[in-house]
Amino acid sequence: MQPAIHRASSVIRYACIGLILAFGLISAPSGSDPPADLARKVAAVEAENASSQANYTYRQKVLIEELDDKGLRVGHYEEVRDITFSPEAGRSERFSGKPVSRLRRLQLTEEDFRDIREVQPFLFTSEQLWAYQTRYRGEELVEGAQCYLLEVRPRQTFEGQRLFEGTLWIDKKDFAVVRSEGQAVPAIFSKGEENLFPRFTTVRAKVDDRHWFPVITLADDILPFRTGPIRIRMRIEYSNYKRFAADSTIKFQDPE
């Protein structure tokens, strides 16, 4: 997201106590020792999730709102995409209806849309282990599940990369990621332009009694542009997960 005039998209952390409480965070980190090779065990489960998710279609709804200093909406962007499959076309994305863009001070960038596809629903797979350093942060009880906390940070970033920096909540029973909270990195500054990104929380749920897929991403942050701060609120919903076979054609109805 960028100011419409200066093309910049950046966000610093905005305190959102209600968001944290809504996801059932009810105990402080403990000081117990982590299991051996925690990151590798998580990455192996995530790799299986990624492989399985490639065999699912789903719908993704995106709502990004600009808020004034009283918290009232003054602009917004909405889109609905269906990730579909057919024997003829293979796997693809398509809009369900036309996107609606009534943003006043913001301009969405290529990096914003890439983050919506890759970073907000982040999967920490085995192929990505080399790119990240991890740190064990204890345990917390989330939605009745005892979870390990694993801090994940890029070892370094290169031009053109979009990576995740934040914390993963990992179910102790099966090493599945049930929640992630963080930010897309790196921030981008070039030729007087700002391109920075919001902190967000993504919650997952089991869709087939085995694999944990994203179901919602929420963000409520302030973008501290040099021309003046802009508060945004973002909501991404992932729904209608359906497994397809090689001879399937899956389509979605247009939203009402």
Q: Model confidence over 24-34: pLDDT tens digits?
A: 443 444 456 78
- pLDDT above 80 for 232: yes
What pLDDT score does 13 carry? 40
pLDDT tens-digit profile of 53-98?
888 999 999 999 999 999 999 999 999 999 987 666 667 899 999 9
Average pLDDT over residues 127-156: 94
Q: Are 179 and 204 in contact (CB under 8 A)?
A: yes
Which tokens belong to 256?
A: 């009402």
In the chain, % helix, strand, coil (3-state, to 5) comes to 15, 50, 35
CA of 177: how far to CAs of 183, 212, 216, 244, in Å? 16, 7, 14, 24
**Model confidence at 16: pLDDT above 60:** no
Q: Which of 1-15, 116-130, 203-217, 240-254 has the lowest mean pLDDT?
A: 1-15
Give the β-pairing of 177-185 and 188-190.
unpaired
Which residues touch 251 (CB under 8 Å, ≥6 apart)?
82, 84
**Prediction pTM value:** 0.84
Between 191 and 44, the more confident residue is 44
Asked if pLDDT for residue 49 goes beyond 70, the answer is yes
Domain assignments of the chain as residue spans, ordered by start? 2-243
Question: Contact 147/141 with Cβ under 8 angstroms?
Answer: yes
Task: Inform me whether the pLDDT recorded for 112 exceeds 50.
Answer: yes
Nearest of 14, 197, 13 to residue 108 by alpha carbon = 197
